Chains A and B, each alone.
Chain A
């Protein structure tokens, strides 16, 4: 079946550190891949997405590349800020309407 696995948190970094949050997926066919972010007390919002192999999604300094050969979609940012503290969810969309979410990774950024 389809599933998403992401690294467990929490991840604690100092401001300006490099961030990687790993995400791997299992899917038949060619899913679209997403990263959503959930700030404290809020709902999830789309951070970036990629719809086919080798696509790179990017937004707000975050990037992720759709790697079909390794079934991965790792989230990266070169220099995190305190305001990036949130929970990050990797997700895939299969067919027209089926979404699968990872368990979420909490990021804490210290000043």
Chain B
């Protein structure tokens, strides 16, 4: 089983619908991230969290919200989806302290299509 699990892996929805993407990890890492991948643009940071009580906006947070329900769970919500939010979304984790090599550990991605 994957250490960083994202659900759903694929989702098609309509404009105006509320969507939640979920991420859970078994790596015991404190830091969790949500990225968006668009063709030709690479990955852009939406939100990140250092722990359950610490949530931070990334470079493209408008139109998104997040919830860190537990150390292992970090959810991304689109309150009212719009077509330009069609993208591939990745959750990532990273440890702090002595286990921190700078590496990010990614989930397999959630492909969202907004019609």
Contact = CB atoms under 8 A, between A and B. Distances in A.
B106 A97 contact: no
B103 A43 contact: no
Contact of B109 (A43, A45, A99, A101): A43
Contact of A44 (B31, B102, B106): B106
B45 interface: yes
A49 B42 contact: no
Interface residues of A, number: 21
B43 interface: yes
B40 interface: yes
B51 interface: no
A103 B40 CA distance: 5
Interface in A42-59: 42-46, 49, 51
A67 interface: no
Interface of B: 4, 31, 35, 40-45, 48, 50, 90, 92, 101-104, 106-109
Interface of A: 4, 8, 32, 34, 36, 41-46, 49, 51, 89, 93, 97, 99, 101-104
